[in-house]
Each structure stands twice: as structure tokens, then as C-alpha cells.
Chain A
Amino acid sequence: NAGVTQTPKFQVLKTGQSMTLQCAQDMNHNSMYWYRQDPGMGLRLIYYSASEGTTDKGEVPNGYNVSRLNKREFSLRLESAAPSQTSVYFCASTGYGESPLHFGNGTRLTVT
């Protein structure tokens, strides 16, 4: 039981390049999330998917797109990376009702 798996762990991009962060969970969770974490800013929600087939914007969606490919997988795409998107990105998932988030190990992204 791997939980939430994120790839890649590290990535360096040049301004304007694109990339997709992958996330998969094996806990049969319905809801999945993408957060970014910057020093002193806590965890900020980029996008979430309440259930398969739905996606919604979070607090900081600009510059990102997401795809809920199936119940297991939720990807985050940066179409044209900017230095302001340098951050640590976490994927998370949760089941129904009042239950905690399970986080992946994170992706450390640097945009130069």
C-alpha cells in the first residue's frame, strides 16, 4: 500500500517551459488536491477534485491546469512556467466525510 505517490521528486525548468506533475493514490479516495508550499505561506490550495470527473479552483489557480484522469490519478500542469511558480508542490487525497488528508512526498520545483 503506497498511499499517495508523486513524480517527479525534483525538477528544474527554464521560464516558459511546460511540465506535468503526476499524482496517484491507491486508497480508493474520492477527493484529491494540489497544494503549493512556500516559506511563511503555509499550504495554499491550487486545485481540487471532489470526485472523479470534477475539478475546481482553489486559492491560487492562475498559471496551472489539472486533469482528474480517473479515480486514482490527478495531474497538475504548468503550461508556461514562471519563476513565481518555484515552490514545493504536494498532492493529497481523502475519503468521504470528516477524514484527514494523506499527502504525497512532494515535488520541489525550481523555475529559472
Chain B
Amino acid sequence: GENVEQHPSTLSVQEGDSAVIKCTYSDSASNYFPWYKQELGKRPQLIIDIRSNVGEKKDQRIAVTLNKTAKHFSLHITETQPEDSAVYFCAASRGGSYIPTFGRGTSLIVHP
């Protein structure tokens, strides 16, 4: 089955810095890669996703890149703000499978 590794497990940055979270996956048939943000005590919520026919996608301060050859994808947050502090999860799934595989999560701390 699919295996998703996520690094780092904790990331501490100063407000205004950039943050990068990386995930690798094992199943070359995976073609959908969402990212979820979970604030303390809240539910995970989708912040951005990318499909395998696209190499990069951007939404304001958030971007995701995908390298299918190397089987890794990354979340980039620019100009970080304290409200970006949360746990971020990556996931991977493939068409025909109903089960997304999640990474273990990255706790991002943005210091004012």
C-alpha cells in the first residue's frame, strides 16, 4: 500500500519567514495530493491540493509543488504570520482508491 513520509515533525520560524514542509510517497499511481491545516482543538481543513497533471499550484501565500519523478511534494508558506501556527498534514491517494494516506503531521510554530 501507499506510504507517506512527512518532514519535519516540528518547524519553528519567525514571523515573516518562509516555511517549507516536505512529503514523499511510495505509490507511483497516486495522483491527488491535498494539504490540511489543523488548528489547536479544531478539525483538519483543506488548504490547498494538487493533481498529478500539474507541477505547481499557488493560492496567495501558500503554494504546493509536485515532483512525480522523485515522488515528493512540498507545501510552501511565505510571509508567515502567527495565525499560520497549526499542525499541517499531507496526504496522497490514487484514482479508484477510497483511502487517502496521511503523513504524520508537522507542527508549525510562528513566533511574533
Contact = CB atoms under 8 A, between A and B. Distances in A.
Interface in B6-56: 9, 31-32, 34, 36, 42-46, 49, 51
Nearest to B94: A98
A101 B100 contact: yes
Contact of A42 (B42, B43, B103): B103
Contacts of A41: 104
Interface stretch (A18-26, A71-79, A103-111): A103-111
A97 interface: yes
Nearest to A43: B102
A90 interface: yes
Interface residues of A, number: 18
Contacts of B43: 90, 103-106
A42 B104 contact: yes
A105 B44 CA distance: 9
15 contacts: A42-B105, A43-B102, A45-B99, A48-B99, A50-B98, A90-B43, A90-B44, A97-B95, A98-B32, A100-B49, A101-B36, A101-B46, A103-B45, A105-B42, A105-B43
Contacts of B45: 103
A31 B98 contact: yes
